[in-house]
Amino acid sequence: MKLWGGNLEKKDIFVQMDELDIRVGAIHTELGALKQKVKELLEDNKRLSEENDQLRQLFKREAELDRKVVSASAPAKRKIAEAGHESPAVSTDALTESGVAIGEGHDNLTRLYHEGFHICNVYYGHLRTEGDCLFCLSFLNK
Ligand SMILES: [Zn+2]
């Protein structure tokens, strides 16, 4: 009776160990997935921090540039307005739209690209992590 009972107990322990083994395996798999997730989040965080730093610097430079453009263009606009005999307001606006604005926009994009950002419509605004981008370059050469 004792031996039989002992065998049954042994069998139970092996079953329990097998079950535990399976559970530990599942936990191990889950832990691995979590580790991978944390790694991805840390990489994302690093990338976003870099992107944020570059954008901060860019905005700072952009704001400084805007101040210079405003102070430099204000007297020029007045001169043009004085020179124009018919509707000076319209001619000033037209110049800003057709001449200055478009060239400036292209310059801004070129600068943005050289700051390390995508300007192509595929990855626009993202940090360029793998050197030159063919989409961006084809856009710049237009
Ligand atoms: Zn690109």
Q: State phi, psi for 64 to the nearest 5 degrees.
A: -65, -45
Q: What is the whole-number distance in angstroms between the Cα of residue 65 and the centre of ligand 1?
A: 25
- Those residues whose C-beta lies under 8 Å from the C-beta of residue 58, and which sit 6 or more positions away, are 112, 115
Task: Provide the residues around ligand 1 (an ion) whose CB is within 5 A.
Answer: 118, 120, 123, 133, 135-136
Q: What is the pLDDT of residues 92-105, one digit of tens each?
A: 444 444 444 556 77
Cβ(127)–Cβ(116) under 8 Å?
Answer: yes
Average pLDDT, the chain: 78
Q: How far is the CA of 68 from the centre of ligand 1 (A)?
A: 29
- 117 CA → ligand 1 middle, Å: 8
pLDDT in tens, 27-80: 999 999 999 999 999 999 999 998 888 888 888 888 888 777 777 766 555 555
Q: Is the pLDDT of residue 4 over 50?
A: yes
